[in-house]
Amino acid sequence: MVRRAAPLLLAVSSLAFGFGAATWLSSEAKAAVDQLLLEQVRGAGAVVAAFAPTGLEDGAALRRLKASGDFDEVSLVEGQQVLADGAGLPAHGVDLLRFDAEKLSAAAAGTSAVSLDYEVGGLPFAVGYFPVPGPVGSGDGRLDSARGERGRPGRVLVVEAGSRFAEPARRVARARTTAFVSSFVGALALFFLALAWSRLETRWRAAAAQAAFAQALQRFAAMAAHEVRNPLATIRGLLELYRERRGDGLGEDGARVVKDVLGEVDRLSRVTGDLLDLSSERPLSTEPRAVEELVKEAASLHPSLTVRCPDTHTMVEVDALRLGQVLQNLLRNAAQAKADATVNVEVKREGGLISVRLHDDGPGVSAAQQQRLFQPFASEKPGGHGLGLALSQRLVERMGGTLRFVSTARGACFELSLSPSPCAAGRGPG
């Protein structure tokens, strides 16, 4: 269960880490942009309020300050009245949607403040409130020449900024979105990669287990075949000697019994022979042969079948005896599936190999049986030992070819891919 869920857990962990890292980095970047904005407003406002407190009422200095710092607005406020601003507008009342009344009052009393007060379209605006000392007396902005002193603070310089940082803020937002999308895509890719790896590992484990079982089975089969083969030969020899000595004295029933026993001995001999072929690497003797002739020779042993084979002459490099054994197995299966079956044989060249297809009109192969069609001892036929197709596939592979089942709408179809004969290049079907 844990192994199956590992790809999902890995993807979720990667996605969570990616989202967390992207969120943290974007928040840090946004905080840096906001802090830079606040520091710019604080520095500009403090310098102007401290060193140029006079001459601000006509707005020229405010306009220069606004242009040089690329601020959105610079205003000189006294009480609830805007005396002048960087836009050059005449005196007007304070817009309390933009200005904080408490911070205005605090700045008028001598306490400056800088903060992010409002947003426009998701973009934060920094507003700085800086006390501007006025002259002694009425606070009309003129210096008392007699005393050379500045009066109590009463005016406030308000600096607003935010638009110039719109592009950095948008870049931070785009970077955050890109990081989120990249994290999601990366997690998705990691999930499918881990899933493919998990499935590959599962198949590898199953294949390794199956290979180990097959090797053990082959060793057992070879041992059993060797142990059974000699006693079978002895039994057959004794039965034939008994039948020869008794002669007519066996009678009809005795002769039938001896014949039946010999038939079973022959069947067991074929099984042991198949087991030995399946578990051993007997040397092959390859030679150029026409595959159509081999098909016709195998078909002659099954007179109940109608085998339609092309009259071409396609040369292949095979062990004729072994390939004939494979073709006999395939045709025997077709005859056992349907008594009067018709087998259509198709021979053609595909790439660098010769393809031979045998397609019968029988009941076909069930989906469940197809999954273990070439496994030893997997026969569903009554009395079948399930070695024919496994042995046939092994023999074809030893000759450098392949044998596979081809799914069709009706009947069973098997395809052999064989190596063409080097001395027959260009011959055979195109």
Distance CA 190, CA 133 (A): 64
CA 380 to chain centre: 37
Distance CA 292, CA 307 (A): 11
**Structural domain total, the chain:** 2
The reply to whether 357 falls in a domain is yes
CA 44 to chain centre: 56
Distance CA 401, CA 394 (A): 10
Distance CA 106, CA 257 (A): 124
pLDDT tier at 355, thresholds 50, 70, 90: very high
Identify the three-state secondary structure at position 125: strand
The CA angle 83-88-89, to the nearest 5 degrees, is: 60
Range of the domain at 338: 287-424
The reply to whether 211 falls in a domain is no
The yes-or-no verdict on residue 240 having pLDDT over 60 is: yes
The yes-or-no verdict on residue 89 having pLDDT over 90 is: no
The yes-or-no verdict on residue 354 having pLDDT over 90 is: yes
The reply to whether 414 falls in a domain is yes
The reply to whether 188 falls in a domain is no
Minimum mean pLDDT range among 101-115, 166-180, 276-290: 166-180
Q: For the domain that residue 22 is a member of, what is the CATH number?
A: 3.30.450.20
Distance CA 258, CA 247 (A): 12
pLDDT at 235: 85
The yes-or-no verdict on residue 214 having pLDDT over 70 is: no
pLDDT tier at 280, thresholds 50, 70, 90: low
24 with 161, same domain: the answer is yes
The reply to whether 221 falls in a domain is no
| DSSP codes, 191-245 | HHHHHHHHHHHHHHHHHHHHHHHHHHHHHHHHHHHHHHHHHHHHHHHHHHHHHHH
Q: Are 360 and 332 in contact (CB under 8 A)?
A: no
pLDDT at 144: 40
Higher per-residue pLDDT: 285 or 403: 403
The reply to whether 247 falls in a domain is no
35 with 164, same domain: the answer is yes
- Please give the mean pLDDT across all residues of the chain: 79
Residue keyed to tokens 């000595």: 245
The yes-or-no verdict on residue 151 having pLDDT over 60 is: no
Joined together, the tokens standing for residue 332 give: 């025997």
Minimum mean pLDDT range among 175-179, 303-307, 422-426: 422-426
pLDDT at 318: 93
Identify residue 422 by its one-letter amino acid code.
P
The reply to whether 121 falls in a domain is yes
pLDDT at 424: 56
pLDDT at 288: 94
Q: For the domain that residue 319 is a member of, what is the CATH number?
A: 3.30.565.10
Q: Are 345 and 308 in contact (CB under 8 A)?
A: yes
